[in-house]
Structures are given as C-alpha cells and as structure tokens.
Structure 1
C-alpha cells in the first residue's frame, strides 16, 4: 500500500482513538459549535418580493426597475368579481364595486385604485369637458342608467378586457401599491387587509365570487409557500430518515446518533444563513431538506462497515476505529466534491440558488465533521450490539453475484449502457424552456387557485413598453401619437394579447369630446398644440390618485404602453417579442424604439440566462472534482475515468426529462451542479474501495472490482435509497421549482447507481486482456524463450 494511503489511514485511526478517549470533550465541543453558529437562525426572515429571484446584474430586472422609477410601480392586488348570475351592471353589484373601490384605498401602501365605477368618464357639454366617475350612487339608479354605463364600459378600450370582461359578466378592481421596502412585514400587512376585503365582499353578497390575485399576492405566495414547506416537509423528512435508518442499522442508538448529527448539521446551515443575511425563499428553504438527506450518507457508510466488522467478531471499539479508517478517505472526498457541486450554484443568475448552495455546503461540511468525530464518540458509550455471524447477508450475496455478472459480461454491459445513455442524450435538444409564475405553485396555494380563475376572464401577464418621444413635451406630436396608435393596433392583433392600454386611447377620446362628442373625431389630433391643451385640461380635471403619472413621465417625453397577455409559454412569449422588435424596426423612427419589460419578461428569460451562467459553473465544478479525484486517489487515469460515470447521469437525466415532460423551468439549470455534487459519492466510494484493494490487498483488476462490490455495494444502494426517498419528499412541496428539482435529482441519483454498477466496472476492465488471451501470450513467451538459444 502506498505511503500516501497509509498516512491517511493512520491519521484517521489516530483521530478516532483520540475522539473515543476524549468523547465527553468532543460531545461538548460539537454541541457548543452548533449552538453558537446555530444562534444565527434567529435573524432569518422570509423574503416577500419576487425580485429576490433575480440578481442585481440581471439586465431585465434593471430595465424593469428603470421603468418603475419613471412611472408608478405596478405592485398590485387585482380583485376579480364574478357574479354567479353573470350580471355586473345592476344596483347590487355596482354598489358592491363602489364600496370595494372606496375600502381598497385603506389597504396599507395603496396609491391608486381603478374600477369601472371610478373610471374617469369624459364627455362634452357645449364647450365644456366633463370628467366624472363612470358610476355614481349605483343604489339609486335605474336599469336605463345601468344599460348606458354598460354600453360605455364595453366600448371603452381602457376598460374592455381590463376591468370588465368582453361579455360584461365579470369585473375587476385593481389596487396599485408602493411599498417603502423598510420592513418585511409590509406585504403581509397589505395582504391581510386585502383578504379581509374579499371575505367581507363575499359575505355581504352571496351572489358574488371574488378571486384575489396580482403581484402582491405573488410576493406573499412565495413567503407562504416557504413556510408551508418548512412546516410539513421537514417533520416528514425526519420521520422518513428515522424509519429508514432504523431499518438499515437495526439499532436505536445508531439511529439516534444519526438524527443528532443531521440536526446539528442543519443548525449550522441555518445559523450561517441568519448571520450572513440570507432571506428565505421556497428554494432556500429546501436546503434543510437537502442537508437532512445528504448528511446521512457519511454516517451510513461508517455504520454499515461497523456492522460488518462486528458481525465478523471484532469488538465495538476496535471496529469503530477500523470503520472510520476504512471510510475516512471516501467520506472526505464525497463531502468535498458535494460541497464543490453546491458551491457551483453561485454561478446561477438567481440569488436563492446561491443561498441554497452555500447553506447546503455548510451543512455538508458539518455532517462530515460530526460523522468522523461525534459519531464514534457517541457510539463508543451508547449500546450497539451486533450478533456474531460469519454468514453472508443476502444483500452482500446479491452484490457478489452482480460483480460476477458484470465482470463476465463486461462488453455487453459496456455496449448496452452506452447505447441507452446515448439515446437518452439525443433527446436533450427537444427540451423547451417555460416559466409562468402563476404555475410555480400547486393548487393548495390560494394565489394559484384564484389566478387560474382570474385567467378565465382577464390576462394576468403585463408586457410594458416605455416609448420615448423626440423631446420634452413630444408626446403631443401627431407623428408620435400616430406611430404609437399603429403600434397599439399591432399589439391588439397578436395572439394571446387580451388588452392594450395606450395613451392614444385617451387622446382620441379627448379629441372626440372636444368636438361635441362627434364620433368622426375619434382619432389622433392633427395639431401638437391642440393635443397639449387637451391633455392639460384633462389632467387638471382628474381627482387625486387617478392622474396620468402611471402613463406619462414628468417632462412628457415618453409614455407607457401595456400589452396584457394570457397564459403563454416562454417560447410563445419570445416569438411575440421577436415580432414586436421586427415591427418597430420596420415602422418606427429610431428614437421611438423600445424593448419590452415587466416581471413576465424577466421570468421569460431567466431560464436561458440561468442555464448560460450555470454551464460555466458546472464545467468548473466538474474540473475541480476531477482534480480532487486524481489527488485523493493518487491516479490521473482514475480521475479522468471518473468524468464518465459522473457526467453521464446528468446528461441522461435531461434526456429522460425531455421524453417524459418536455419542458423545463429556470430551476433546471441548477440540477446539473446539485446532482453532480450528489452522484459523485457513488463513484468515489466504489473507486476508493477499488484503489484500496489494488494497493492494500494487492488484488488484480477483476478481484478489486469484486472487493468494491462486496464491501461498498450495499452501502451505495442504501444511500441511493435514502437519497431517492429524500428527494421524493421534496416533490411533495407546494412550489413547482422544488418539485422539478426533486424529480430531476431523483432521476440523476438512479442513473448514477446504474452507471456506477454497470458501466464504471466495465471501464476499469477496458484494456485488460481476457484470461485466454493472457494464457496465449504466456505460451508465446515460453516458445520465444525456448527458441532463442537455438538462434544464438
């Protein structure tokens, strides 16, 4: 055995003996470490802003924030009011809308409320422009009045399909908010009031159903989903681990030890998050689940070896030292490579994945430290008895039989597994990106249910354009207004566009009003000064809170046009953007060109942006892990060889997902790094036992493969089962990105097991001659040796 491996083994054995000798000190230090770092958890807070999913360097976020700094923000609540009888324009419903509109102003941080009742309806009386609420004192009006108001609403471009459905059977109230962003309770405070308004409206009007959606509800849903998962998934995960560990090691004390280790490791991660100011999101909150799953691995390997040694008659203390010695190098390499994989998430364009990676890395480091110190310290005095039995367990026999099958049929396994892997990989190009933030949540979340109902009547995904004029005041220029009107008409002609809010609709209405409401003048004014006068007169007539600041910038050098789209895929949305860009290039002067922006735009591009960034991170992680393997195993060949069984499971996973699902969201980009850090474990443990057999035992390649299967095969299967079940638990999350992450990682774990058992040994056998070929070579050598003297 090489001096390198001997030194590592001797150090591990000495460490374990020291730990056992000073077990009470080790126990105290372990608890103290977790207590001090874990105290940072008191600083943890849930994020209530979807912008946390985008880094500050994200260009789509920067463009959106610029738009919101120019106009009013669009954080909102949308109350969708659906009368069961389908009649909106009557005294009962419009009175309810009037009351809701008035009460909505009392929602904390509300700066604007728009509804069909307070819509600023304009008309002319001789030379006077009259601006008033579309509906006033609904309770006192008659059916003729309501028919007139319905006719106005359905013929008003700014209302139809925006605040009243095309058939006039559903209406909506939109509340715009501007949060100071000084405390994390701002969104929950506003949501609480909005939900009460919804409940009160439904209670007072049994004939009405109300659906509450909007950006503020989206923000709140992220926080509520994270808390929901924390309250359900973590207890479930603890229960699953307890049952699995007890079934595997059949020891209450060993199971208790594992639970202590994973608990302390999780405390370290959460405390680290608190001290570093990490804001919790549904993604970051999956870190404890991942840690609980992965932290078991090191302990299980040591415990299974411990059981085997004690079954063979070794005393517990000696067996503990030997179990740590045998597994120390492997668990150290696996922990290090897992940490590297998760740290690669820092290349993501989405900060919550940075947080997931960093928190998990700290937890894995803690699990490694506790598995080589706290585990032997606790088990040295806790009861752990194994009956002496030199019979092979059925699971070990199964591994031995599998080893023989792979060795004897290595070419068949090599060709078969390679063909299947290549066929799956060939399906990867068919994957399509798709991110729709409503569908990030399952139907157990109120926001998802209400948003789905709202989408039956209105679009929910606004696409914003800030269109510049040539100079200050230039929005009154007829050329500008005509170009803007043409663009609005183009947008209305596009599939999936449900509504377009354009400044030109206001100007056309004013032009008609100022010409005695003659419909022939429902067009863009032909004179700039006249347009500016109309606009000034209109603005002076608008009440507080309903001005044009959300449509026109301060110096009137740009206006905002909004196209609201229905539920579309990311590919459809990008095709829409391409058509918009082409239309602008062909029809607009250069100074008017503008790019789309909004939350919908940000989520549309996040998948590809995340994927592009994570390719770099994953490649660096793969290279780093390869060098770690080369150094740790003292073999460049084995380190290079490990790239194949480590990389193929990720690629085959994407291929299988393409065939099974066909679509991926932005979370998929992180699967490669997360899976890489996990699936390397199987390869490390198999190769470390293989190297030990070659160096320490002096075995040939085939016997070394048999040794690896015999000594670590069961542990690899057991860890795969634990990991698989752990990520199955993650698929019960209410957050779709966690579900996808759990399912894809589950596939990667299964593929890793199959490839490490069926492909890796055949790669090790490549270049090795068969016994018959070696026998023929030996005969040729003997013949040459016999003939040589006669030649001389």
Structure 2
C-alpha cells in the first residue's frame, strides 16, 4: 500500500513539473512586460485620505504640481545659455505634442515680466520678491519645467529630454548640471531601484546558492535548489504583470525575498531527504515531504500572513508588497513540494550520486553532522543549567527594547533615502543653497462668488498672509499673485484713493494673466488665491513641524484680517502630504505587526494543541522585531518605508525555525525522551538546517548593503539583524522557556517520519 501511494505521489509530481515547465515561457514573457510606477511619495497615499483629497483638489484647480528645475554653476540672469536651453526645449515640445511638458519658465523671463509688464516693478524690488523662489541671493537663475498629467514612462521621457537638452544647450556634462523637482526625484528613485534589480538581484541569488552549496556539500542537490528557487523567483515576480500591478522601488527586493525564502525551505526539505537515506532510498523524497509538510506548510503560511498583514497599509507600495510577496511565497511553496520529488528522482538514477552515497568513507557532511550533534549536546546542557537566568536576561532585553520603541520616528525625507554623496542630494543642496527650497506648503485663500469684498481688499488680505509666512525662519521664499503686482497704496487721502482706483483697474485686467501664471484659480465655487511657501527638502525640520509653523502664522493673521463668516483657508502642498506619509509609516508598522501577531498566535496554539505552549512559542518570534526596532529607537535612526515591511515579515520568517524546533522537540518527547534528551535530540535534528537557512538568507540580504537606495539597504540590513536575533531566540531563549515553563508537548500531527 505504501509503495502504491509512493508511486502515485511520484506520478503527480512528474505531471506537476511538466505543467510548470510548460508555464515557464509565459512567466518569462510576463516578466518582460511589467511596467514601472512612479516613485512620487504623493502618490503613495490613499486617494480618499483627507490630505490627499485636499491636495488633489489643489492640483485640479492649479494644474499639475509636478516639475523639473535645472540650473548650473554661474547660471545668472544674464546667462544666454538659459534662454537657449528654454528655446531648444520649447522647440522639441512644439515638434512633439506627445512630450508631456505644460510650461517652461526661466528666472530671466519672470524678471522681465515683472519689470516690463503691468506691474512695472523696479529691478531691485523684483529680485527681492523672487528671492528664494526664482532667483538666488547672487542672482543665480534656473529654469522650471512643469509637466502635464502623464504616465511613468512619459515622465521618465520628459526628465531625460530635459537633461539631454540642457547638456546640448550648455555644453556641460550631466554631473555639472544641478537638477531638482519632484519629477526628477521620482525618476531618480526609479532609476536607482532599477539598478538595484539589475546589479544586485543576480549576485544576491548567487551568494545564496554558494552558501547553500557549502551547507549541502552536494552539487546536484544544489542545482535542484537553484532551479526551483530561480523558477519561483521568475514566476513570483511575473504575478505582478498578471495581476495588473506595476514595479516600484519597494518591490525591487521582492525577487531576492522569494529566492531566499524558497532556498530556505528547500534546505529544510533536503535535510529531511538526506536523513531519509538520500539517493540510496528511492522513497526518500516522498518520506522527506511526509516529515516536512507539517512544519514547512505552517511556516510558509505564517510567513505569508506576515506579508499579508502589510496589505492593511494605507501606503500603496507597502500594501502592494504585502500582496505580491504573500502570493509569491504560497506559490513558491507549492512549486517546491510539487517539483522536488520529480527532480530528485532524476538524480537518483545518476551514477555519480549513487557512487557518492554508497561510499562508506566519512564525508564532510557527516563530520559536520557529528559536530552539530556535539554542539547540540553542549548547548542543551548549558541551557538546562542556566534556563532561568537566560529567561530573565531575555525579559530585561525585551523591556529595554520596548522602551526604545517609544522613541521611534519616521521619515520620508530625501536624505533618508540617499547618501550625502549621491547625485540627487548634492543637486538639492546646491539648488537650495544658491537659489531656494524646492518643497512647498500651499496656502489657498477662497473667496466665494457671493463675496462682495473689494478686489483691493482681497489683495491686501493675501499680501498680509504672504508677509506673515515670510516671518517663518525655515521658509526660504514666498510667492503669490502679489509678487507680480505693484505695491498696494494705503487707504486715505485723495492721492491714495486715486492710486487705489488705478490699482483696482490694473488688478481686474491682470487677473486673467495671474490665472495663466497659476497663482489664481477660478471655478464654479469662486476665486482661489494661492500663496506658496518654499521649504527645504534636505536638512530641515520635520515636515509636520514646518507645516504647523506655517499654519500657525497664517491662521493668526487670518483671525485679525478676515471676517470670520467669510474666512476660508486651506493648507496643502507637498510638505503636508509628506507629513501625512510619515504619520502613516508609524501607524502602518503598528497595525501590520499587531495583525500578524493576532493571526499567527492562534495558528501556533492550534498547531501545538495548548494555549500556554503556543504563547511560549511566540516569544522568540516577537522578540526579534522588538529588539531591532528598540535598538533603532535608542540609536535615533529614523524609520522609512522599507522598515515598515520588516517587522511583520521578520515575525513570519522567525516562525519558520520555531516550528521546526518545536516539531522535533515534541517528537522527541513522544518517543519517551526526558527534557534534556528531547532538547539534545532537537538540536541534533534541526539546528544544522536552522543555522544553514539563516546563513543563506543573511548572505542573500547582505549583498544589498552597498545599494544606493537607502530604504532597500536598510531593509536588507534589518532583515539580517532580525534573522540573527531570531536564530538566537530559537536556539537560546526558546529552549530555556521550554525548560522553565513546559512539562510536556503533547499534540502534534503524526507523520511517518517520527520513528
């Protein structure tokens, strides 16, 4: 009966691998058709969020706020290259209607408009009004290119066209140009994430395979692992295309994540396969699956739940990562169990394998196994002897780490994504030092249609808000409709009355021009005047603090200036949007971790058949995230979007080793072993595979340490730290807890591998 069952399982595996092989071309084609999405942080927020609704309404009224800023050393107002650049770029727009550029503005053009237009401002007054926005303190100038609503590919094309045209017009190289703006920022992030995939994914996979080979010491089995993991990597990422998703900077770690998790599970399966006799036993692969399916399926499920918990995030890149990672992991587990018996059966017929396995001489693997047995015996003796001190030390570290977590801060600022020496940080620092800040806080003053306020009084109120914002120290520049108008004459006296009448006529005739300039908008609800405060993108206060400071002076002035029944002011812009994203990072970290904990804990209790034992088993799974994030809090390291991914994912991965450890511990006790013997038995059976999987996963992640995009690098390093913390918890804290708090582990699904 057993032979018949084994033959049926082998047949199913061969049919399954045939189907998987037939699907491979589809996955490869899908992989090449995956589109990229923009990395603009304003697009991360949910469309129905309060801040996003305000910002979307602002964009609808004043058109897109996506732009590229270009300057260079010694680019002054009288630099003819600036005009040449603008003219050449405009010629390309005229000849290519598909080029998604809405408007091109240069500092010299704005100065000319203000000095020679209706305002007739003096040059000195003009430069003062434009300082920190269009002109630097030493008359440093720039060009600003505003984009239309466009796709990611179109945005990349515009930014590249802008850079190429600037190089042609100025004769400068790219590293001599100073480029900024949210369109450039999004494209730069996309480029760095693409480089991460191009230059680091394959080396990361090779590192994992190399370590796997050193652990397995068998080339043929290593090739099986490589084949399965590579297939899962390609097919798992291809699901992005089939599900209508888009690749983004956060998903750049998905290929490596799927590869290393597949390799990790395969290592456990191979260890069971070798213990079942390997190539000398034709049924070894089937027996290995019978032994492994309980811990492996539970581990895969809990890890997938860790990924799945990220889907509750309000930040789209995080929720996308959670969905595709959980889907890819479950698919990879199915592929592993389907393909492993069929692939191993091919190698079972290999003379090289047979000769190797029939060789009675001691092998490196056998020697390593004996060393792990000796290590397990020594470590179990020490843990049993010092169980309570280990538990108390673990509790102390846990409490200190919890206190550290209270100091956690989040950031989506540019300098938290790139190093000081990177092109984008150097560009932003130069622009903000020599011209002005690039991030904006937008203050919108709304005047309903039924508002009968005199136009001059409207302008006066806007000007007072304008001046109030200038008083905020961190604000580098302010511009509004009043930047383009003559100074408003004071009220009183015949001469001033005549001047105000002339000013009213000028204002009424100029409003269409101001609408075109994007500082006033008109719609069915009324008239909207825009006051833009420019705040730094790098080396500045928290975005929330900046927004609060601007809001404070605006509303304080409004209380003194606007009639309360007619006061309508909205604060929006990139700075408030970025602040909202920062707040969501911390809330998402907490929500996803608690959700994963809430789902995984009952699974552990059910699998072990005891509430107390299930709760004990969760301690080493929660501890790694708490310890690592507690350390971040104490060290003052800000959380970024990649950090949000690690907590729930690390808990899911940590459960993998915990399940294998507890599985063998329970089986040892089922054999009648006492506590000491059961722990020694457990160390001998699974410590090797646990350490191997940790080494493999860590080696795959460490390859990303030099990557340019800091969130990807931080994700990799945090994963390594949590993997190390998890293995320490499973091999030190968990046995100590078992000794201190558990008498007998009673329930475990029986398998044929228990004997």
* TM superposition score category, shorter chain reference: 0.7 to 0.9
Against the structure 1 CA distance between its residues 18 and 598, is the aligned structure 2 distance closer, same or farther, given a 3 Å change threshold?
Answer: farther
Indicate conservation of the 8 Å contact 2:315/2:584, yes or no. Answer: no
Partner of 1:63: 54
Cα 1:569/1:621, change in 2 over 3 Å: farther
Q: State the alpha-carbon separation in 1 of the partners of residues 629 and 13 from structure 2.
A: 46
On the 8 A contact 2:81/2:170 being kept in 1, the answer is: no
Post-superposition offset of 1:646: 1.4
Taking the TM superposition and a 5 Å limit, the aligned residue runs for 1:288-437 are 288-310=255-277, 315-382=280-347, 383=350, 384=353, 385-386=356-357, 387-388=359-360, 389=362, 392-437=369-414
Superposed displacement of residue 46, structure 1: 0.7
Deviation at 1:490, TM superposition (A): 2.3
Indicate the SS of the match to 1:658: helix
* Residues 700-715 of structure 1 mapped to structure 2, 5 A cutoff: 700-715=674-689
Could you tell me which residue of structure 2 aligns to residue 186 of structure 1?
A: 154
Query: What residue in structure 2 maps to residue 279 of structure 1?
Result: 246
The answer to whether 1:254 aligns with 2:221 is yes
User: How does 1:534-549 map onto structure 2 within 5 Å?
Assistant: 534-539=506-511, 547-549=516-518
Q: Determine if contact 2:440/2:575 at 8 Å carries over to the other structure.
A: yes
The structure 1 residue matched to 2:444, chosen from 466, 473, 479, is 466
Moved over 6 A (4+): 122-125, 205-208
2:145 maps to what in 1? 175
Question: Which of 200, 207, 212 is the matching residue for 1:240?
Answer: 207
> What's 2:751 paired with?
none
CA contact (8 A) 2:443 2:569 kept: yes
Secondary structure of the structure 2 residue equivalent to 1:349: coil
SS at match of 1:553: strand
Q: Could you list the per-position Cα deviations for residues 217-264 of structure 1 after superposition, in whole angstroms to 9, with x for gaps in the alignment?
A: 122123222321121121112211221111111111111111111122
Classify 1:310/1:443 alpha carbon distance in 2 versus 1 (closer, same or farther; 3 Å). Answer: farther
Q: 1:547 to 1:249 in 2, by over 3 A?
A: same
2:135 is paired with a residue whose SS is: coil
| Offset, 1:467 | 1.5
1:626 alignment partner, one of 601, 612, 624: 601
CA, structure 1 residues 23+674, in 2 after alignment: closer, same or farther (shift >3 Å)? closer
Tell me the distance in 2 between the aligned counterparts of 1:237 and 1:256: 16
Q: Which ranges of structure 1 fall in alignment gaps of 5 or more residues?
A: 1-9, 135-147, 513-519, 771-792
Q: Deviations over 1:672-706 (max 9, x none)?
A: 212122111121111111122223x1223332222
8 Å Cα contact 1:434-1:571 kept in structure 2? no
Offset of 1:17 from its aligned partner? 5.0
**SS of residue paired to 1:462:** strand
Between the aligned partners of 2:703 and 2:689, the Cα distance in structure 1 is: 21
2:444 is paired with a residue of what secondary structure?
strand
Aligned to 2:705: 731
RMSD of aligned alpha carbons: 3.3
After TM superposition, the score normalised by the length of structure 2 is 0.87
Report how far residue 749 of structure 1 moved: 1.4
Post-superposition CA distance 1:576-598 (Å, at most 9, x none): 33333333443324443534322
1:32 aligns with 2:22: yes
Aligned to 1:574: 544
Correspondence 1:162 to 2:150:
no
Preserved CA contact (<8 Å) 2:298 2:659 = yes
Q: By how many angstroms is 1:765 displaced?
A: 1.7
- Say whether the 8 Å CA contact 2:480–2:519 is kept in structure 1: no
Q: Distance in 1 between matches of 2:725 and 2:115?
A: 73
* Structure with the greater alpha carbon radius of gyration: 1
Q: Which whole-Å CA distance do the structure 2 matches of 1:769 and 1:197 have between them?
A: 75
1:88 is matched with which residue?
A: 76
Residues 214-233 of structure 1 correspond to what in structure 2 (within 5 A)? 214-233=181-200
Report the CA distance shift for 1:355/1:207 in structure 2 as closer, same or farther (over 3 A). closer
Distance 1:651 1:526, change over 3 A: farther
| 3-state secondary structure, aligned to 1:432 | coil
Of 316-325 and 189-198, the range deviating more from structure 2 = 316-325
Q: 1:598 to 1:207 in 2, by over 3 A?
A: closer
CA distance in 2, matches of 1:580, 1:449: 27
Secondary structure in 2 matching 1:285? helix
Q: Greater shift after overlay, 395-404 or 549-558?
A: 549-558
Select which of 485, 501, 505 maps to 1:533: 505
What is the distance in 2 between the residues matched to 1:768 and 1:675?
A: 25
CA separation of 1:322/1:362 partners in 2, compared to 1, >3 Å: closer, same or farther? same
Shift of 1:277: 0.8
- Give the superposition deviation at 1:66: 0.7
Shift of 1:175: 1.3
Match of 2:752 in 1: none
- 2:462–2:482 CA contact under 8 A, matched in 1: yes
Residue 104 of structure 2 corresponds to 113
Count, aligned residues: 716
Instruction: Say if 1:242 and 1:255, in contact at 8 Å, map to a contact too.
Output: yes
The 2-side partners of 1:190 and 1:666 are apart by 27
**1:543-692 to 2 correspondences below 5 Å:** 547-554=516-523, 557-567=527-537, 572-588=542-558, 589=562, 590=564, 591-692=566-667
Residue by residue, what CA displacement relative to the aligned partner does 1:700-739 show, whole Å, maximum 9, x if unpaired?
3332222221111111111111122222223333322222
CA contact (8 A) 2:101 2:148 kept: yes
Q: Is the 8 A contact 1:437 1:603 kept in 2?
A: no
Name the CA shift for 1:669/1:410 in 2 (closer, same or farther; >3 Å): same
Relative to structure 2, which stretch is displaced further, 394-403 or 237-246? 394-403
1:312-371 deviation digits (Å, cap 9, x = unpaired): xx8332433333222221111100101111011101111122222222222211221232
1:525 Cα deviation (Å)?
10
Q: Secondary structure at the match of 1:497?
A: coil
Q: Aligned residue for 1:196?
A: 164
**How far, CA to CA, are the matches of 1:443 and 1:124 in structure 2?**
39
Q: Secondary structure at the match of 2:521?
A: coil
Question: Once structures 1 and 2 are overlaid, which stretch shifts more, 228-237 or 739-748?
Answer: 739-748
Which residue is 1:761 aligned to? 735
Alpha-carbon deviation of 1:480?
3.7
In structure 2, C-alpha distance between the alignment counterparts of 1:124 and 1:442, rounded to whole Å: 41
* 8 Å contact from structure 2 (residues 446, 528) kept in 1: yes
Q: 3-state DSSP class of the match of 1:281?
A: coil
State how far apart, in whole Å, the 2-side matches of 1:269 and 1:700 are. 44
Q: Compared with structure 1, are the counterparts of its residues 476 and 442 closer, same or farther at alpha carbon in structure 2 (3 Å cutoff)?
A: farther
Partner-residue secondary structure (3-state), 1:663: coil
Q: By how many angstroms is 1:454 displaced?
A: 2.0
Q: Secondary structure at the match of 2:437?
A: coil
Deviation at 1:496, TM superposition (A): 1.9
- Is the contact between residue 179 and residue 428 of structure 2 (CA under 8 Å) also seen in structure 1? yes
Is 1:451 aligned to residue 428 of structure 2?
A: yes
Which sits farther off after the overlay, 336-345 or 562-571?
Answer: 562-571
User: Partner residue of 1:98?
Assistant: 83
Question: Using the alignment, how far apart are the partners of 2:452 and 2:403 within structure 1?
Answer: 54
Q: 1:208 to 1:440 in 2, by over 3 A?
A: closer
Aligned partner of 2:750 in structure 1 is: none
